[in-house]
C-alpha cells in the first residue's frame, strides 16, 4: 500500500500501478477518461487522476461516462501479450475484476480533456479553467511551479534568509508602472495602492535589522498584458544587508540554479555576466538572447571618410550578418521581404536600412553598393565575417537608435522560441541611473526605480550630467526574457533626497509621500541591496511554454478579463456611494 497517497477512499494513485503491484487488490479514485468497447461483455476504461492513467477492465453493462468521478476496486494483472502500452508508465498492467462505485456523474465537458488543448479557443479554456487544469499539460505545469517554489524556499532558507510577509495595502509610490488603486471607505477621497513590489517594506526590514529577508510575493501592475505579463504576478523578493552587488548576484544565482535543477533534473552552467553597455552594443537590447549569434558589428570607423551621405553624418554605424548557413530563408530574402525589413526599421525609429547581399569573392549586391568605395566594401565583408550567400543589414543613426533597431531586427530574424533550449542565463549589470529626459517635465527618468544607489565613481555627476551616471543595478535574463531586477539601495538620507530632486520630487514632497520611509533611515540604515525575479516567467520557460498564462492557475486573458468569473464587473451604486466615488459617463466612441 502507498502510505503517502492512501486515504479513506483509495489505497493508491492511478499512476502508481506497475508490474510490482501484480496480484494486489487496490482501490483507486479518479475521473473516467476514454471508454472502449471490447465485444459484447467487456469494456476498457482509462481511469485518470493527477498522477496518470491506468486501464480498467469492466463489465460492458457498467454505466459510466466521460469525466464521471468513480471509485474502482480491482486486482492488478499484467496486460495480455501484444497489448502493452509503452507510451504510459502504467502500460504493462491493468485492473481486472473491477467493482465500480460512482461518486459523481458529469455532463459532457465542453472540450476533450485527454488532449493537449492547443486546438481549443483560449477563452473557452479559461472560462472552464477548472476543467482545463485536469489536462496532463496543466497538471504538469502547476506542479512544476510548486516544485520551483519549494526549491527557491529551501535555497533561500539555507542561505540564512527569513521569510517575512509584507502589506498589500500601501501608499502610492513612483516605481515606474501604473498602480491599482483601492479606495478607502473610512477616509473618502483617499486611496491605497496595491504593491508593484514590496520595495519599501523590504528596505525597512533591513533598517529593522532583519539582515536577510525573502518572500514569494504577489505583486500587481496595471499594465497592458502580453505573453510574459499579467496584472498579478508572483516574484521571489529578497533583500540583504552589508552586501555589494556581487554578494546579491551570487545568492540569487544559487536560488535560480536550485529552481532550474528542480524543474529539469540537471544543473545549468554558471550564469554569465555582461555590462548594460556591452549588451546594447553587441545585442542591441538590455535583455539579450545568447542562444544565437548574429551580434551587432561596429562599422563606424570603416566609414570615417566616406562619401556616402547617409553614413557621413551618423554618430554610429552598425551591422548584423544574416548567415545563410544558419538562416537560409532569411538570408535569401527577395525584394519584397527586404522592403518590409526597411519599413520595419523605420517604424522602430531608424531613418532607413541598408541591405547588401554577399556574392562570390565578396562582391556586394545592393542599391547603395555604387556609393561605397572598394575599401569600404571589403571592410564590410571582413568586419561582419560575411561569406557568399549571406545578407548584411546596416543602420546608421545615433548610437541608441542604431543599437535598438538592429537589436530588434536581430530578434525578428534569428530568435528561437523562448522555451527552446539551451537555457542561457545572463546577468546584465551597471545599468544607467536615468534613461532619458522626460519631454514634458524636462527631468530625468529613472532607469529602474529611485532607490537604486548611483555608482560611487559617478555620484559627483548626479546634478551636472545625470544621464552619464551608472546605477548599481542588475537584471537577470533567461533566453531573452527578463526574469527580474535588483540593485544596491541608497541608504544615506541625503543621497536619496538628491536623487528625488533630480526626479522633480522636492524635499517637502518627499517628506509627504515617503516620510514613513525616509524617517527610519535617520536611525542607522545599513548598506543593503536586493533583487526580485518573476516566478511565472521562469516557470514558463522551464515548462516549455511561450506564455505565462500556461503556468498560472487562474490567469486573465490578454484583454485583462476573466471569462470564468466575468471580472471585472460593475458594482452596486450603494457601494460606490459608501466609498465616496462617482463614476464619469463612458467616453463617446
Query: Is 459 a domain residue?
Result: no
Judgement on whether residues 74 and 205 belong to the same structural domain of the protein? no
Q: In whole angstroms, give the CA distance from residue 80 to residue 101.
A: 26
Please list the ranges in the chain whose pLDDT falls under 70. Answer: 1-3, 174-176
Query: Which of these, 268, 205, 281, 196, lies nearest to 476 by C-alpha position?
Result: 268
Query: Is 317 a domain residue?
Result: yes
pLDDT of amino acid 175: 56
Residue 88 DSSP label: S
Judgement on whether residues 123 and 263 belong to the same structural domain of the protein? yes
Query: Is 188 a domain residue?
Result: yes
Judgement on whether residues 153 and 255 belong to the same structural domain of the protein? yes
Query: Is 273 a domain residue?
Result: no
- The residues pairing with 193 across neighbouring beta strands, listed in sequence order, are 170, 181
- The residues pairing with 354 across neighbouring beta strands, listed in sequence order, are 394
Query: Is 483 a domain residue?
Result: no
pLDDT of amino acid 421: 81
| CATH number of the domain where residue 403 is located | 3.30.1360.30
Please name the helix (run of DSSP H) or strand (run of DSSP E) that holds residue 429, with its range, or none: strand 425-429
Q: Residue 150 sits in which domain range?
A: 116-268+529-582
Give pTM, 2 decimals.
0.90
Domain final residue, candidates 415, 442, 459: 415
| CATH number of the domain where residue 86 is located | 2.40.50.140
Judgement on whether residues 263 and 123 belong to the same structural domain of the protein? yes
Which DSSP string corresponds to 225-280? Answer: -BTTB-SEEEEEEEEEES--HHHHHHHHHHHHHHHHHHHHSSPPPPPEEEEHHHHH
Query: Is 422 a domain residue?
Result: no
Judgement on whether residues 93 and 60 belong to the same structural domain of the protein? yes
Query: Which of these, 544, 536, 538, lies nearest to 137 by C-alpha position?
Result: 544
Domain final residue, candidates 104, 132, 157: 104
Domain final residue, candidates 79, 104, 129: 104
326's torsion region: left (phi>0), alpha (psi -120 to 50) or beta?
alpha
Query: Which of these, 433, 11, 479, lies nearest to 2 by C-alpha position?
Result: 11
Judgement on whether residues 228 and 313 belong to the same structural domain of the protein? no
Cα dist from 77 to 1, 80, 250, 298, 474, whole Å? 16, 9, 52, 69, 58
Query: Is 83 a domain residue?
Result: yes
Structure confidence by residue, pLDDT tens digits, 136-188: 999 999 999 999 999 999 999 999 999 999 999 998 875 567 899 999 999 98
Grid coordinates standing for 27? 482501490
Query: Is 424 a domain residue?
Result: no
Judgement on whether residues 386 and 261 belong to the same structural domain of the protein? no
Judgement on whether residues 100 and 231 belong to the same structural domain of the protein? no
Give the pairing of strands 272-275 and 425-429: parallel
Count of the separate structural domains present in the chain: 3
Grid coordinates standing for 258? 536550485
Judgement on whether residues 326 and 184 belong to the same structural domain of the protein? no
Judgement on whether residues 314 and 243 belong to the same structural domain of the protein? no
Cα dist from 454 to 151, 306, 473, 540, whole Å? 33, 40, 9, 33
| CATH number of the domain where residue 184 is located | 3.30.930.10
pLDDT of amino acid 38: 83
Give the pairing of strands 364-365 and 297-298: unpaired
Residue 467 DSSP label: G
Judgement on whether residues 122 and 256 belong to the same structural domain of the protein? yes
Judgement on whether residues 304 and 394 belong to the same structural domain of the protein? yes
Structure confidence by residue, pLDDT tens digits, 334-366: 999 999 999 999 999 999 999 999 999 899 999
Grid coordinates standing for 558? 490578454
Which residues have CB under 8 Å from 122's CB, separation 6+?
Answer: 549, 557
Which residue shows C-alpha cell 561569406? 387
Grid coordinates standing for 498? 538628491
pLDDT of amino acid 1: 43
Contact 52, 88 (CB under 8 A): yes
Amino acid at each position: 500500500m502507498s502510505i503517502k497517497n492512501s486515504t479513506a477512499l483509495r489505497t493508491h494513485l492511478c499512476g502508481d500501478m506497475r508490474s510490482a503491484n501484480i496480484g494486489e487488490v487496490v482501490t483507486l479514485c479518479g475521473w473516467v477518461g476514454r471508454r472502449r468497447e471490447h465485444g459484447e461483455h467487456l469494456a476498457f476504461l482509462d481511469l485518470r487522476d493527477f498522477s496518470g492513467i491506468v486501464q480498467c477492465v469492466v463489465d460492458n453493462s457498467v454505466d459510466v461516462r466521460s469525466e464521471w468521478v468513480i471509485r474502482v476496486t480491482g486486482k492488478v494483472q499484467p496486460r495480455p501479450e501484444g497489448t502493452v502500452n509503452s507510451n504510459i508508465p502504467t502500460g504493462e498492467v491493468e485492473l481486472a475484476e473491477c467493482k465500480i462505485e460512482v461518486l459523481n456523474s458529469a455532463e459532457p465537458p465542453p472540450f476533450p480533456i485527454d488532449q493537449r488543448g492547443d486546438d481549443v479557443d483560449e477563452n473557452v479554456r479559461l472560462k472552464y479553467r477548472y476543467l482545463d487544469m485536469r489536462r496532463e499539460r496543466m497538471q504538469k505545469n502547476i506542479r512544476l511551479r510548486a516544485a520551483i517554489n519549494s526549491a527557491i524556499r529551501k535555497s533561500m532558507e539555507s542561505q540564512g534568509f527569513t521569510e517575512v510577509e509584507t502589506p498589500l495595502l500601501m501608499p502610492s509610490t513612483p516605481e515606474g508602472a501604473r498602480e491599482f488603486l483601492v479606495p478607502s471607505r473610512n477616509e473618502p477621497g483617499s486611496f491605497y495602492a496595491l504593491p508593484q513590489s514590496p520595495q519599501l517594506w523590504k528596505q525597512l526590514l533591513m533598517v529593522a535589522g532583519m539582515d536577510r529577508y525573502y518572500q514569494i510575493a504577489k505583486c500587481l501592475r496595471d499594465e497592458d498584458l502580453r505573453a510574459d505579463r499579467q496584472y498579478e504576478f508572483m516574484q521571489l523578493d529578497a533583500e540583504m544587508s552589508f552586501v555589494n552587488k556581487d554578494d546579491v548576484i551570487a545568492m540569487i544565482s544559487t536560488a535560480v540554479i536550485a529552481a532550474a535543477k528542480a524543474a529539469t533534473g540537471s544543473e545549468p552552467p554558471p550564469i554569465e555576466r555582461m555590462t548594460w553597455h556591452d549588451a546594447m552594443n553587441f545585442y542591441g537590447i538590455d535583455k539579450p538572447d545568447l542562444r544565437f549569434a548574429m551580434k551587432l558589428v561596429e562599422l563606424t570607423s570603416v566609414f570615417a571618410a566616406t562619401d556616402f551621405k547617409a553614413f557621413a553624418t551618423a554618430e554610429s554605424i552598425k551591422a548584423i550578418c544574416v548567415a545563410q548557413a544558419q538562416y537560409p530563408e532569411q538570408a535569401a530574402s527577395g525584394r519584397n521581404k527586404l522592403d518590409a525589413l526597411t519599413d520595419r526599421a523605420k517604424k522602430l525609429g531608424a531613418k532607413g536600412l541598408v541591405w547588401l547581399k554577399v556574392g562570390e569573392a565578396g562582391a556586394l549586391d545592393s542599391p547603395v553598393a555604387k556609393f561605397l568605395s572598394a575599401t569600404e566594401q571589403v571592410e564590410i565583408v571582413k568586419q561582419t565575417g560575411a561569406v557568399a550567400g549571406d545578407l548584411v543589414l546596416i543602420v546608421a543613426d545615433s548610437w541608441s537608435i542604431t543599437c535598438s533597431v538592429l537589436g530588434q531586427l536581430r530578434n525578428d530574424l534569428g530568435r528561437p522560441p523562448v522555451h527552446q533550449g539551451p537555457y542561457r542565463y545572463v546577468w546584465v549589470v551597471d545599468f544607467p541611473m536615468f534613461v532619458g529626459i522626460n519631454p514634458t517635465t524636462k527631468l530625468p527618468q529613472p532607469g529602474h526605480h529611485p532607490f537604486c544607489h548611483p555608482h560611487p565613481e559617478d555620484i559627483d555627476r548626479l546634478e551636472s550630467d545625470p544621464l552619464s551616471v551608472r546605477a548599481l543595478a542588475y537584471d537577470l535574463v533567461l533566453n531573452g526574457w527578463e526574469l527580474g531586477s535588483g540593485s544596491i539601495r541608497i541608504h544615506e538620507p541625503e543621497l536619496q533626497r538628491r536623487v528625488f530632486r533630480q526626479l522633480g520630487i522636492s524635499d517637502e514632497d518627499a517628506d509627504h509621500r515617503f516620510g514613513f520611509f525616509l524617517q527610519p533611515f535617520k536611525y542607522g540604515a545599513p548598506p543593503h541591496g536586493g533583487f526580485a525575479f518573476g516566478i511565472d516567467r521562469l516557470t514558463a520557460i522551464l515548462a516549455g511554454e511561450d506564455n505565462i498564462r500556461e503556468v498560472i492557475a487562474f490567469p486573465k486573458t490578454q484583454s485583462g478579463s476573466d471569462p470564468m468569473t466575468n471580472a471585472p464587473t460593475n458594482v452596486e451604486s450603494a457601494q460606490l456611494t459608501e466609498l465616496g466615488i462617482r463614476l464619469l459617463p463612458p467616453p463617446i466612441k
